[in-house]
A and B are shown apart, each in its own frame.
Chain A
Amino acid sequence: MEAFTEKFGIGQPVRRKEDQRLLTGGGQYTDDINIEGQVYLAFLRATYAHARIIDIDISAATTAPGVLAVFTGQDLAKDGVGRVETDIPLKELDGTPIFKTQRLAMPTDKIRFSGEPLAVVVAETAYQAKDAAELITIDAEELPAVVTAQQAAAQSAAAIHDKKPNNCALHWENDSPDAYDAVAAKAHKIVSITLTNNRVVPVPMEPKCCTAEMDTESGRMTIYAPFQGGRRIQEAVADLLFDGDGDRVRQFSDNTGGGFGTRSKIYPEIIAICYAAKKLGRTVKWLGDRSETFVSDYHGRDQVNSAELAFDAEGKILGYRLETLVNIGAWVSENGARLAVDGGGRILGGAYVIPILYYSCRNMMTNTVSTDTYRGAGRPEANYIVERLMEKAAEELEINSQELRRRNFINTFPYTTQLGMNVDCGDFADCMDMALAEADWAGFAARAAQSKARGKLRGFGLASFLEGAGGRPEEIMRVRFEEDGAVNIICGTFSHGQGHATVYSQILSEKMGIPFDSISLIQGDTDTAPSDASGTYGSRSSQMGGVAIIRACNIIIEKGKKIAGHLLQAEANEVTYEDAIFSASGGSVTMEDVAKAAYDTRRLPDGLDHGLDETYHYTRDGGRNDQSFPNGCHVCEVEVDPETGTIELLSYTAVDDCGTVLNPLIVHGQVHGGVAQGIGQALTEHTVYDEETGQLLTGSFMDYGMPRAKHLSSVEALFNPIPSTNNELGVKGAGEAGCCGAPPAFVNAVLDALKPLGIKHLDMPLTPNNTWRAIHDSETQGATSRWI
């Protein structure tokens, strides 16, 4: 029995059981699902970014070939389809609650961003639907577009929502600035920086899509769509279209081509599609094209941060002041206005002790698509600010930046952050030492000299970071032992690349001592998921779902002991369980025997329910403030070509403390993916809206710079695991840490390379053009002599 826990238990490099299927084309994505009799839907989207709707003329479209119906927001309103409500419990200091925009699936009054859906056409074929949509004409009075958060904050800015003339959905502050101002007044040095955290498009490989199947006999709808946890879409569609009757709505996802947070949202398109399916009593299928996905998937990041740190004479941080402007787009989405407050706010100041904090966060509405969760969701932004500041501070204080970090690292635990998170453990200095050793920091000067000899500028960058992972402090998992000895894990978390089928199986295999291959995962179906199960986001599935599995197994073992005692004619409390064997008074039965007996009422002791099937509702002790706190230190080395501004990433070393490593292969994959997305944001990805017209100019792969293999180096991923004390598995969510470490490590490395030119500041993305321009300006301004 030990053999498979050695091979397949916790901590083992088990190959993913998902991969055979996915790599051989066996995956089933939403567009692979076809229902007999399905019809097709196309959206007409707004071309203006901001306009008052006068009329939408659908007459030509309704008579076009193959067209079954055309619906606008007015049709939905007439049928009483309500608004998607957001439920963010945040308030301003004076008690003003967050502004709720109450979005309709399709607007009836105004167009608020270019790409907003205005009408749907349902036709016999997809091309007929698209052709007919082009026949719809929109009569609208164009209004001035408000594009950036700074524009939105200006006095003269047009109002996106008439009820909120200042465009600020939430001006959140943790406190008055007085306490900070008092320490700043006594500070030895104040170091300040203003940074733009560039907006990124999430770009999952699978575009946005949905098929809504309406069974007119049962009155029940099945929604096939990529979704990171189906309960929320089930509830939203039930509320808006089925009088709140969740039993009439099923959401199903098989495989999903990437989530990154953007596939956890209740998009208005889904409501409109479900409406059309219900209205027509047909199965309605929609596959968004890449252009639609670009303009309508919620984007990520988009902040402007003005930050300062106050230091004493020894280089210890006295206080931190941060003023953030977030561009949350046209509508207050599910999480958009809470990311910088709840997401980033929880770990503001990163790896460092922050005695006093003043944090002001204005969430500004603009004529752009909403921003919302994107891998890291606020924490990469927070770490980026403080890591850029620490580098700048080191220079201004004339203290080595590694030494400055050491003087300020959090090193007594638990440490409570200024916004109340209880960081239970970590060793930032150790992570940094490991990273510096692995990356051969000692040899950097010699390598830089070699680069210089070749006409290149070499830089070394470092970022320590603190993550806060876990999200909602509850999760529910069902573990069912079948009669034949197979085990099913049935859940509402949703693996869209994370490898849950493998990792959950490892956890269960280790806990129960049963074969890894006998365990299966059933996910992605609201008909089978435990009610009130949540989903996969915020790097939470192992630490929440994994723990719930362990606890469900504990109940199963206790029940199994009663059954085994009955079979062995022993008292249940005499029965012991180890490696799938129940033993008592010289006799033993296997887990498989017990499972068989559990389904055979003749062999069950009195008073026990039939079956071996437990659902555990896990609530994390301490709630949301006691999540897990992954952390680490990432370093990288770059070479800049001063003639072209091209940056080459030469090496990348990641030391991650993600607690207990359940499967090093999978965690390596998580780190690599997070780093790639972080480098993408720092080097190539940039979402550009025309600041006058609000048009998305980087709306395709021709203009939006996805990172390619050539932009990356191999990533050396090391672990420095310090088990979390906030869950019994000891895990810390690993999925988003790479995005926290990579942007500051990379930008710090480039600025280190450019230091001889006197360049002190750059904003992401560091495209060759931006970098070359900075080099060119530094030369033409004559601030420094040419570096060679």
Chain B
Amino acid sequence: MDMTGEQRIAAPKQAVWDALNDADALKASIPGCEEIEKKSTTEFSAKVSLAVGPVKARFSGEVTLSDIDAPNGYTLTGEGSGGAAGFGKGEAKVVLTEDGGETVISYTAHAMVGGKLAQIGQRLIDATAKKLAGQFFENFASHLEAESGQPEAVETAAPFAPAVAPAAAQTNEAGGQSLFWGMMGAALIILWIINH
């Protein structure tokens, strides 16, 4: 599945970039993150407890960064495995654009999930993704706020879904599957961000 989306963060580009590359900032932001380790400048590993409907599992993930163009963007390649619960993997290109002192994180992603996560989880990914995304960006913004000490500069992102929905609708011309693919993609983005 392919999807695109964007998220506005009320912080300067460099600050957002730094936070996106900071294990502590990510650990604080990712819902259910138990540990995150920056193994090198381009490799992260993480353990995250995640529930998508009835599928609950502890996912172990590895994410590699490439095409790094600080502070403008990079490519994430990652895979997270929840054992019998299934796996998620894929690639996302992330671009940061400064806009009036704020930063727009935009991404294009290609993703896939497998196992029970695909079999029974996909109908519930919509709600899960919205919830996790909301939590992530809320946490991420709070973290930046605390770091920068400029509460007024932090404007929590608008709900995630509206940013995603148009992209999802665009990416699929095949018809009936479009919404659900979009939602799958949304969830995967979250998984990556989580794993990142």
A residues contacting B by CB (< 8 A) are: 44-45, 47-49, 114-115, 133-137, 291, 294-295, 688, 690, 692-693, 695-697, 699-700, 702-703, 767, 769-770, 773
Q: How long is the Cα–Cα vector from A250 to B52 in the complex, in angstroms? A: 42
Contacts of A695 in B (CB 8 A): 112-115, 118-119
Does B83 interact with chain A (Cβ within 8 Å)?
Answer: yes
* Contact B84–A693 (Cβ < 8 Å): no
Contacts of B87 in A (CB 8 A): 47-48
* Contact A693–B85 (Cβ < 8 Å): no
Q: Which of B115-130 contact A (CB under 8 A)?
A: 115-116, 118-120, 122-124
* Contact A291–B84 (Cβ < 8 Å): no
Q: How long is the Cα–Cα vector from A134 to B177 in the complex, in angstroms? A: 30
Contacts of B123 in A (CB 8 A): 700, 702-703
* Contact B114–A773 (Cβ < 8 Å): no
Does B100 interact with chain A (Cβ within 8 Å)?
Answer: no
Given contact pairs A697-B122, A700-B119, A769 touches B175 in the complex (Cβ within 8 A)? yes
Chain B binding site: helix, strand, loop or mixed by DSSP? mixed
Q: Which of A49, A134, A136, A769 contacts B114 (CB 8 A)?
A: A49
Contacts of B149 in A (CB 8 A): none
* Contact B83–A693 (Cβ < 8 Å): no
Q: How long is the Cα–Cα vector from A294 to B112 in the complex, in angstroms? A: 20
Q: Interface code B77-116, partner A: CB below 8 Å = 1, 0 otherwise? A: 0000001111100000000000000000000000011111
Given contact pairs A134-B85, A695-B113, A295 touches B119 in the complex (Cβ within 8 A)? yes
Q: Which 10 interchain pairs have the tightest Cβ spacing?
A: A47-B115, A699-B119, A695-B118, A769-B176, A134-B84, A693-B112, A702-B123, A700-B120, A47-B114, A47-B86
Given contact pairs A44-B84, A134-B85, A135-B83, A294 touches B119 in the complex (Cβ within 8 A)? yes
Contacts of B84 in A (CB 8 A): 44-45, 47, 133-134, 136
* Contact A291–B176 (Cβ < 8 Å): no
Q: How long is the Cα–Cα vector from A695 to B180 in the complex, in angstroms? A: 14
* Contact A767–B176 (Cβ < 8 Å): yes
Contacts of A690 in B (CB 8 A): 112, 118
Give the total of B residues in contact with A, Cβ under 8 Å.
Answer: 22
Contacts of B120 in A (CB 8 A): 291, 699-700, 702
Contacts of B83 in A (CB 8 A): 134-137
* Contact A696–B176 (Cβ < 8 Å): no
* Contact B114–A692 (Cβ < 8 Å): no
12 pairs, CB–CB < 8 Å, chain A vs chain B: A44-B84, A45-B84, A114-B115, A134-B57, A134-B85, A295-B119, A690-B112, A692-B112, A696-B119, A700-B119, A702-B124, A769-B175
Contacts of A294 in B (CB 8 A): 119
Q: Which residue on chain B has the smallest CB distance to residue A48?
A: B114
Q: How long is the Cα–Cα vector from A348 to B180 in the complex, in angstroms? A: 38
Q: Which of A133, A137, A697, A767 contacts B118 (CB 8 A)?
A: A697
Contacts of A135 in B (CB 8 A): 83
B126 to chain A, nearest CB (A): 12
Q: Which of A136, A697, A770 contacts B119 (CB 8 A)?
A: A697
Contacts of A47 in B (CB 8 A): 84, 86-87, 114-116
Contacts of B57 in A (CB 8 A): 134
Contacts of A133 in B (CB 8 A): 84
Contacts of A773 in B (CB 8 A): 175-176
Contacts of A699 in B (CB 8 A): 116, 118-120
A55 to chain B, nearest CB (A): 14
Q: How long is the Cα–Cα vector from A657 to B124 in the complex, in angstroms? A: 47
A438 to chain B, nearest CB (A): 36
Taking A48-B87, A294-B119 as given, write out 16 further A-B residue pairs in contact, using a Cβ cutoff of 8 Å, ordered by the A residue number: A47-B114, A48-B114, A114-B114, A136-B83, A137-B83, A291-B116, A291-B120, A295-B119, A690-B118, A693-B118, A695-B113, A695-B118, A699-B119, A700-B123, A770-B176, A773-B175
Q: How long is the Cα–Cα vector from A558 to B119 in the complex, in angstroms? A: 61
- Name the residue in A291, A693, A773 with the highest tally of chain B Cβ atoms < 10 Å from its Cβ: A693
Q: How long is the Cα–Cα vector from A125 to B138 in the complex, in angstroms? A: 42
Q: Which residue on chain A has the smallest CB distance to residue B79?
A: A142
Q: How long is the Cα–Cα vector from A137 to B82 in the complex, in angstroms? A: 10
